[in-house]
Structure 1
């Protein structure tokens, strides 16, 4: 069964690989995200006029729509970059059991499932 996707948000963040695990753990412990997946990545971008290539961790974080603002604030405050990539995505569909778990982990913030 699929739950209305408007209750779940996925945050896409990049961070130095050496800091990723502690970063995600702090967000989970603060109960602003239910889960974080850490993937290896490589970013190529322009910063202050220079072309940069960096190994980065790609972090996918699951939260609720109600916790999104708090999650983004925690991420911004804890992130080591001057201009961190913090992108919130709304999924097309979410498995009902998974959505229920995310809500339960975040203290049951208004569930629409």
Structure 2
């Protein structure tokens, strides 16, 4: 009997991270380095993320409310246990200064076992 090895279809992002991804990354943009760093530090201290990285400068071009905008922004990448994604996203949205912040969840499908275990150990789920 043939088997279908495809994972089940997901109805929405709310379904979370695929079970195989025990670690996830969240990509989020901020108006400046200080805002990103303050929010990220708070999240690490509370165990919402095992580690964050802040890239202090990038230029974004986007359409907002009908006008093309160009803005200098900072990027924060959070690394955390996959089970903590919903809580981390909710925290970012509740404390973010933007009306509609860019918050993207990316499953981590592999990497250094020791590093992935370290990230998981820094996330309280």
TM-score range, shorter chain: 0.7 to 0.9
Task: Choose between structure 1 and 2 for higher RCO, CA contacts under 8 A separated by at least 6 residues.
Answer: 1
Write the mapping of 1:44-63 to structure 2, written as runs, cut at 5 A. 44-63=61-80
When normalised by structure 2's length, the TM-score is 0.78
Say whether the 8 Å CA contact 2:22–2:108 is kept in structure 1: no
Q: Does 1:74 pair with 2:91?
A: yes
Greater fraction of residues in strand = 1
Give the distance between the partners of 2:108 and 2:82, measured in 1 at CA.
11
* Structure 2 runs not aligned, ≥5 long: 1-18
Checking the alignment, whether the CA contact within 8 Å between 1:5 and 1:94 is kept in structure 2 is: no
Per-residue displacement from partner, 1:28-72 (whole Å, max 9, x unpaired)? Answer: 112111111111211100000111110000111101111011000
- Displacement of 1:5 after TM fit? 5.7
Structure 1 residue 92: Cα displacement: 3.0
User: Is contact 1:13-1:60 (8 Å) kept?
Assistant: yes
Q: Mark the runs of 5 or more structure 1 residues left unpaired by the alignment.
A: none
Partner SS for 1:66 = helix
**Structure 1 segments of 4 or more deviating over 6 A?**
none
TM-score by length of 1: 0.86
| Count of aligned pairs between the two proteins | 105
Aligned to 1:43: 60
SS in 2 for 1:106: coil
Residue 105 (structure 2) pairs with residue 88 (structure 1): yes
Q: Deviations over 1:52-95 (max 9, x none)?
A: 11000011110111101100010110110110111000123121
Q: Tell me how large the CA RMSD over aligned residues is.
A: 1.5
- Which one has a bigger Cα radius of gyration? 2
